[in-house]
Amino acid sequence: MSELRERVRDRYAAAARSVKDGMAADDWSEGACCCDPEDGLGVQLYDVTERAGLPEEAVLASLGCGNPAAVAELREGEAVLDLGSGGGIDVLLSARRVGPTGRAYGLDMTEEMLQLARENARAAGATNVEFLKGYIEDVPLPDASVDVIISNCVINLSTDKPAVFAEMSRVLRAGGRLGISDVVAADGLSPQERAERGSYVGCIAGALSLSEYGDALMRAGFTEVRIDLTHELADLMYGAIIRAHKP
């Protein structure tokens, strides 16, 4: 396991423990991943009606930079996979959208987050969800097993992004789609310049540029790639919505 992966795991384990102690995950001392700790951006990206009925700990554990379950336009009966599902907020929202005939999977490598997510699913009474332990570079699901993949400010944390994109293509069915929230850098910003704007575990240093992201998805076989910037997180670093389809 790489040193960076271990640091990411430690960061999210600490965030899960802080939620169990009654604090929002972005109160943790190293700072929020994609969230403004003063504004609670991760939570604010979900409207009040969406948060209604969710367990408080699922909301407190939100550390994302978007609302991918809404971006993906999920439909009744679909199977959806959330890469880096954390405390489970996007899985629970997805489960509502796909309904009892659908299925929502969450994948995370951090045992503390998985335990928190499973507790949140029980508290929410969600019966069409399943949380899996594993890495987003090696998804423990069969080929062509899901209709939609979502992710919320996680892919930037991977140290092997081509493997992530290849796995997304593998597990998606033909005609499947991506609805991802992530951090991207402006084209022309060097890796060193990205690192100067924030840490790797803070979701900044490991971000791909706009062109790098789009090119990597197309190399993995995706089409109709679209990247829309949503808000600035640091100088020339942005939260973004990424959509694509598998032919």
Number of domains in the chain: 1
What CATH number has the domain bearing residue 219? 3.40.50.150
pLDDT of 33 strictly over 80? no
* Amino acid 239: pLDDT: 93
Instruction: Give me the pLDDT at residue 6, please.
Output: 87
Q: How confident is the model at residue 21 (pLDDT cuts 50, 70, 90)?
A: low
Is 88's pLDDT higher than 50? yes
pLDDT of residue 43 exceeding 60: no
Radius of gyration of the chain (CA): 16
pLDDT at 35 over 60: no
Q: Which domain holds residue 150?
A: 3-245
* Res 22: pLDDT: 59
Type of residue at 157: L
Angstrom distance (rounded) from CA 136 to CA 140: 9
Contact assessment for residue 151 and residue 180, using Cβ atoms and an 8 Å cutoff: yes
Separation CA 194–CA 97 (nearest Å): 36
Of all residues in the chain, the percent with pLDDT exceeding 70 is 83
For every residue of 133-196, DSSP letters joined together read ESBTTB-SS-TT-EEEEEEES-GGG-S-HHHHHHHHHHHEEEEEEEEEEEEEEPTT--HHHHHH
- Single pTM value for the model: 0.89
Q: State residue 99's pLDDT score.
A: 97
Q: Which of 14-18, 178-182, 185-189, 241-245 has the lowest mean pLDDT?
A: 14-18
- Mean pLDDT, residues 173-197: 96
Contact 111, 134 (CB under 8 A): no
How much of the chain, in percent, has pLDDT values that exceed 90?
Answer: 68
Say if residues 106 and 130 touch (Cβ distance below 8 Å): yes
Let me know how many helices (H) and strands (E) the chain has, helices first: 10, 8
What confidence score (pLDDT) does residue 12 get? 79
> What's the rounded mean pLDDT across residues 128-136?
98
Q: What is the mean pLDDT of residues 74-89?
A: 96
Q: Is 244 exposed, middle or buried (0-12, 13-18, 19+ CB in 10 A)?
A: buried
* Environment class of 154 (CB within 10 Å of its CB; exposed 0-12, middle 13-18, buried 19+): buried
- Judge whether residue 36 has pLDDT over 50: no
pLDDT of residue 56: 74
